[in-house]
Structure 1
Amino acid sequence: MPGLIRRTLLIGGVAAAAGGLALWRWRMPGDAELDYGTDPSQVLDIRYPSGGNAAPVLVIFHDGDFATGDKSDTAVWPEWLEAGIAVVRVNTRLSDRAKWPAQADDALAAVVHLQRNGADLGLNPAHMVLMGQGAGAYLAVTTALSLVEVGLSPKGVVSLYGPMDFSTLDADLKTLGRAPSRGPADDAASPESRLLGFPVGEKRAAAHAVSPLARLDRMREPLPPILIRHGDADTMVADLQAKRLREAWIAADPKAAIDYKLVPGAGHGGQAFETDPVRADVLAFVQARLA
């Protein structure tokens, strides 16, 4: 499969030549929306900065427990556009439409689409950062690892308050002595169990096996820089998940650049992740990676 993905990315420019110019002609300045697959959910939108040069790209995956939400829920910070960065927001199929790994396949397919059609879309996908919030962070990290495996590593990854291993979500909250703000992830009715198609608590090993942490355990390739932020009062996804991501990233590549901080008093998302110091940190990281 990695070879097939690499081949798709490398030869995709040929296919793009036939239809890419039409995409470039019809897009409205500053905004565009297009399909990257045949399912109605497989859409992305592009916010362009001013200027005519091929823009570096920030790809964002939204939150929503894989079951709800839309790309439009994620704000496009004007600072990115002012810095000459194009922002791409991606929708993937939700868990009521398709089970995992459909969402990982969709996220990778969206990036492949940008790689294949980047020149005609006014983008420079060779300079790309992947970012996700909550469930979107799980997708951003997963997609980054898939790109690393085929030698097409992104320039950076931003993980904001994301789960990284469904099999330990409940145990992590218990370890920290926090009462969960929703039902147990182990239950058959949890968003994680509905996503995977089986109760996490009954197939814990299988739930771990699909996680970014399990993939990192098997990797020893150079990894891109990563910024990790997580609230230290999160009662939905314990910050131990972020700590494990940091440790797994270091184990896979001890030389990788890691910017890891817990956000004091912050819960799962919210205003703390839209304002300074988190906002300033994210902006600085993305701009530095895409300069």
Structure 2
Amino acid sequence: MPGLIRRSLLIGGAAAALGGVALWRWQKPGATELVYDSDPAQVLDIQYPRGRAAAPVLVIFHGGDFATGDKADIEVWPEWLDAGIAVVRVNTRLSGQAPWPAQADDALAAVVHLQRSGADIGLDPARMVLMGQGAGAYLAVTTALSLVEVGLVPKGVVSLYGPMDFSTLDADVKTLGRTPARGPADDPASPESRLLGFAVGAKRDAARAASPLARLERMAEPLPPILIRHGDADAMVADLQAKRLREAWIAADPKAVIDYKLVPGAGHGGAAFETGEVRSDLLAFVQQALG
């Protein structure tokens, strides 16, 4: 019963937030853009596969240090559509528009909007995988945990070279002996500090508390399958972040399915995550998760 109550509150809250948003008609085939809340930044687009059946859904959050980037930056692989999967690309407010947790709230609102409206827009929201690149991975994992907490567990999660704990970003790069690819995350002007609204180095405990890893430490619910890929030469977000995500996922749910690999020679994103073995792994994982 408590889980049902929490689900009702979540969906009811999203409905209230969307009260002023017009109903949208869905058109197939091709892409449709939807507004999921009142801010101009709170939009998503859907690219549909061929066919008339309600499609399972891959929701993708873009990277950009929470400060830049757009859903249009995400390439929609034709293999997803050929497999009958609808691809949803989500924009959230950037850090220059609103501080954390606005981005987490937006990501969750977008997903809840899809869940509530799925039957009307040609989607099967009961079959959904969340995926993110860089900063988008932070949002994908955070959103998945929010859904788990209210009993709306996604079918899978994909984390690609994402930061998972801002409080250790600088220490991790130093531990691995890499030359940092950018300025310190602890600095007040860093993307992470601007997102949180305070200098990570000055409030390390608070930065840690905002992380998916801290949330996982408090969870005991069954977790969805997760695929984690990170470059073993990443000098922006050290691969120790991916290792800690794997360890925290196992600690929270020892029975969870985890597909974890480091990508040899890869840095922060790039072609290594779009071709070859990584591409094959992603396609296989998502298709299996969605059934």
Classify the TM-score, shorter chain.
Answer: over 0.9
Q: For residue 133 of structure 1, what is the amino acid of its counterpart? A: Q
In structure 2, relative to structure 1, the CA distance for the partners of 1:181 and 1:3 (3 Å cut) is farther
- In the alignment, which residue of structure 2 is the partner of 1:114? 114
Map of 1:10-29 to 2, 5 A cutoff? 23-24=24-25, 27-29=27-29
Q: For residue 246 of structure 2, what is the amino acid of its counterpart? A: R
- In the alignment, which residue of structure 2 is the partner of 1:47? 47
Map of 1:1-291 to 2, 5 A cutoff? 6-8=7-9, 23-24=24-25, 27-291=27-291
Structure 1 residue 3: Cα displacement = 7.3
Q: Number of paired residues?
A: 288
Structure 1 residue 23: Cα displacement = 2.3
Structure 1 unaligned runs (5+)? none
Q: For residue 207 of structure 1, what is the amino acid of its counterpart? A: A
Structure 1 residue 7: Cα displacement = 1.1
Given that residues 13 and 117 in structure 1 are in contact (C-alpha distance below 8 angstroms), is that contact kept between their aligned partners in structure 2? no
Given that residues 164 and 211 in structure 1 are in contact (C-alpha distance below 8 angstroms), is that contact kept between their aligned partners in structure 2? yes
Secondary structure at 1:284 match in 2: helix
Q: For residue 244 of structure 2, what is the amino acid of its counterpart? A: R
In structure 2, relative to structure 1, the CA distance for the partners of 1:168 and 1:73 (3 Å cut) is same
- Aligned-residue CA RMSD in angstroms? 2.2
Distance of 2:229 and 2:160 partners within structure 1: 5
Given that residues 208 and 214 in structure 1 are in contact (C-alpha distance below 8 angstroms), is that contact kept between their aligned partners in structure 2? yes
Secondary structure at 1:23 match in 2: coil
> Can you list the C-alpha shifts for 1:14-60, whole angstroms capped at 9, x where unaligned?
99xx9999623x53522100100000000000000000000000000
Secondary structure at 1:99 match in 2: coil
Distance of 1:248 and 1:259 partners within structure 2: 14
Distance of 2:111 and 2:14 partners within structure 1: 13
> Can you list the C-alpha shifts for 1:175-209, whole angstroms capped at 9, x where unaligned?
00011010000000000000000000000000000
Distance of 1:21 and 1:199 partners within structure 2: 39
- So what's the TM-score if we normalise by structure 2? 0.94
Distance of 2:80 and 2:228 partners within structure 1: 19
In structure 2, relative to structure 1, the CA distance for the partners of 1:177 and 1:266 (3 Å cut) is same
Given that residues 11 and 112 in structure 2 are in contact (C-alpha distance below 8 angstroms), is that contact kept between their aligned partners in structure 1? no
In structure 2, relative to structure 1, the CA distance for the partners of 1:110 and 1:13 (3 Å cut) is closer
In structure 2, relative to structure 1, the CA distance for the partners of 1:161 and 1:97 (3 Å cut) is same
Identity of aligned residues (%): 78
Structure 2 unaligned runs (5+)? none
Given that residues 58 and 130 in structure 1 are in contact (C-alpha distance below 8 angstroms), is that contact kept between their aligned partners in structure 2? yes
